[in-house]
Every structure is written in structure tokens, then in C-alpha cells.
Amino acid sequence: MITVGARSNNKIVPITNFTKRTTQVTLTLAQYGTDPVPSVTRVIGHAYCDSLGNYRLVANGRYTTTSATRSRTRIYKDSLGDITFKNVANFYQAISCEAESLTVDAFGVVHPNSDTVDIKHSAGAVSHVFSMDVELNSKPSWFDANVENTPDVSAYIPNASPSETGLITAAAQSLAGVKTFNDGIVLDNAAGQSTLNFYATGGTTSPTIANAGTSPSGALYWTKVGNLVTVTGHIIIGASGSPTDNVTLTDIPAGFRPIREVQHLCNLQTTGDYIFLAQITTAGVVSLYRRLVQSAADAIVTANFANSYTLAFNMSYIVYA
């Protein structure tokens, strides 16, 4: 087990991939072709991998057969084929082996792209012992189910915080310092979380309205992304009373207000040939005034707003801290 310090996580190999290995498991041997049938006394081993995902098998065992100068068997755990040695042409990996009597010379290999253990003796032998540490072609199918308990990486590396380096977690988390993402950021709105921390919004469907006749109605909304503020809304002039040429809504909160008054020309929503000026003051007041009317003589004159007119506006501007 390797302990990783809280401040040593530069180029750390994730513990989930670092030399994982299985617990010791029981393996077995099967007959190869027409070779003698093995009678297994005991075969045990474990599989492991390095940080690059290369898998190996460590195993040792004893079995007996009828007397033979060559003993080939197939090694497996749960079913034939669940162990495959490295698939490289002519890559016969050597293993340690012996006739148990120690009176007969022996050598052994495992065959590439197979599960075959091949032991040869200088004379007939009955009892065979072997050990190996050999490369596998891929992760055995039984590896994950038998892997040793791997401590959570958070046991070695703390979660990141504004004052500590550490892990990025799936939970809400505060970080410090400028972070650069070279390929951008994708926001997943599946849970309604597609906002960044420089995004803010608000609004009201009952703003304070003045000079707009009797019982006017309206709405006022504001949004800020970075330093860009957008204000949108509308007023419906009262059906009675005497509206003026300066209707106001209040108020846009501090932090969304412009540092200088901003103006924008808008069309009357109900009669697009009439226009009016929308203004937002540094105090957060929206003023709609000076309805411009084209007279029969092609002159432009101002007039008060008429009852029941809808005045809509949408304005954007930059604010500075």
C-alpha cells in the first residue's frame, strides 16, 4: 500500500489503477488434447496489473499424471478460456518446473494466446510441480470479482478546497485560483444546474409603476452574466386615468444598475408605428417617455401614452465593479 501525501498529487497514478491485484484464488488444470489427464493436488495464484493496465498471473501448483516425458495442461479458474497468456507470435514464456522426485530434469513454458502450460522432462515423470509469473493477454474475466479491497483514494488525498490542493469530487465544492480549461466547459442541464457562478438573475411581476393611469400592470426582470446586464419587462397602461409621457417602474437592485443612464428606442407593442424612449437611471428606475407620433404633415411630435397600451422593452449594458 502506498500512502500519498496531501500536497504530493502532481502526476499521481490513480490508486484505482495502481498495481491492483486479486486475492489468492484456487486454480485448476484440465487435460490438453490426448495428453495425460492431470490429477490436481493444489494450484493457487493471483492476477495483478500495473498502472498501464498490463496484467500478469502469479501461480504455483502440484499435479500428477501417468508417467510421461511431456505434460501439457490447460489452466483456468472458473471455466476454460478465462486465462489467456500474452498473444505475441512465438512468445513462449518460461516457467519454473520440476519432477517432484528431483531426479529428472525438466523445463516448461506457457504458450502464447492460449491457456496451455507445457512441461517437458528428460525421462518419464508422474509428479509435477511448477511456479510462474507470466504476462497475460488481457484482464481475466474473474479479476474484478476477486480484486483485493482497494481503499478509496480520498483516504490518501483530501478533497480540494480554497486553501488545499486535492481531489475534485462529485459534490458541491469551492476552489481557489484561476482555472484554465483549454477545450471549454460543457454544462449539463439535466438537473437544472446549467449556471456559472458569475450568473445572477431576478425580477418581479409587481413592480412599482407611476404615471401610467389607473391600475396599470407590468413585470420587470434583470439578468447579469459577468459584467453584461440585460433588463427586460413591460407595462400595460391602465384602461382609465390619465397616463403621462413619463411612465416609470422601480426598481432594479444594486449590482445590476448602470453607472451612467442608458437609453433605447422601442416600438409600442400594440401599434408598431409609434416609438418611445426607454431609459434606465443609475438609481435603478426604468423610465418610458415621450411617445413619438407622426402627424399628417409628416412632423414628429410627442404625446402622452394612451390608455391600455402595452410598452415592452429589452435593454443590455455593461456594468463595472
What are the pLDDT digits (tens) for 211-230?
A: 999 999 999 999 998 889 99
| CA 114 – CA 73 distance, rounded (Å) | 11
The pLDDT, as a whole number, for residue 292 is: 66
Q: Is residue 272 pLDDT above 60, yes or no?
A: no
Q: Write out the H or E segment, with its range, that includes residue 161.
A: none
pLDDT-wise least confident of 99-113, 134-148, 228-242, 299-313? 299-313
| CA 107 – CA 96 distance, rounded (Å) | 7
Q: How far is CA 224 from the centre of its chain?
A: 27
Q: Is residue 195 pLDDT above 60, yes or no?
A: no
**Nearest Cα residue to 73 out of 119, 32, 113, 114:** 32
Q: Is residue 11 pLDDT above 50, yes or no?
A: no
- Bridge partners (DSSP) of residue 318 are 228
Assigned C-alpha cell, 202: 431576478
- Bridge partners (DSSP) of residue 268 are 311
Q: Which pLDDT band, with edges at 50, 70 and 90, does 193 fall under?
A: low
Q: Is residue 156 pLDDT above 80, yes or no?
A: no
Assigned C-alpha cell, 38: 492431470
Assigned C-alpha cell, 154: 480520498
| CA 56 – CA 54 distance, rounded (Å) | 7
**Nearest Cα residue to 48 out of 147, 158, 153, 180:** 147
| CA 198 – CA 227 distance, rounded (Å) | 9
Give first-to-last CA distance, the chain, whole Å.
Answer: 51
Q: What pTM, to 2 d.p., does this model score?
A: 0.46
pLDDT-wise least confident of 12-21, 64-73, 134-143, 296-305? 12-21
The pLDDT, as a whole number, for residue 172 is: 81
Q: Is residue 48 pLDDT above 90, yes or no?
A: yes
**Nearest Cα residue to 241 out of 219, 211, 217:** 211
Assigned C-alpha cell, 215: 391600475
CATH superfamily of 201-318: Phage tail base-plate Siphoviridae RBP, head domain (2.60.40.1830)
Q: Is residue 4 pLDDT above 60, yes or no?
A: no
Q: Which pLDDT band, with edges at 50, 70 and 90, does 301 fall under?
A: low
The pLDDT, as a whole number, for residue 233 is: 94
The pLDDT, as a whole number, for residue 17 is: 45
Which residues, 6+ apart, have CB-to-CB distance to 278 below 8 Å? 263, 264, 265, 266, 286, 287, 288, 313, 315
Q: How far is CA 296 from CA 234, 271, 301, in A?
A: 29, 17, 11
Percent of the chain's residues with pLDDT above 90: 47
The secondary structure of residue 105, as a DSSP letter, is: -
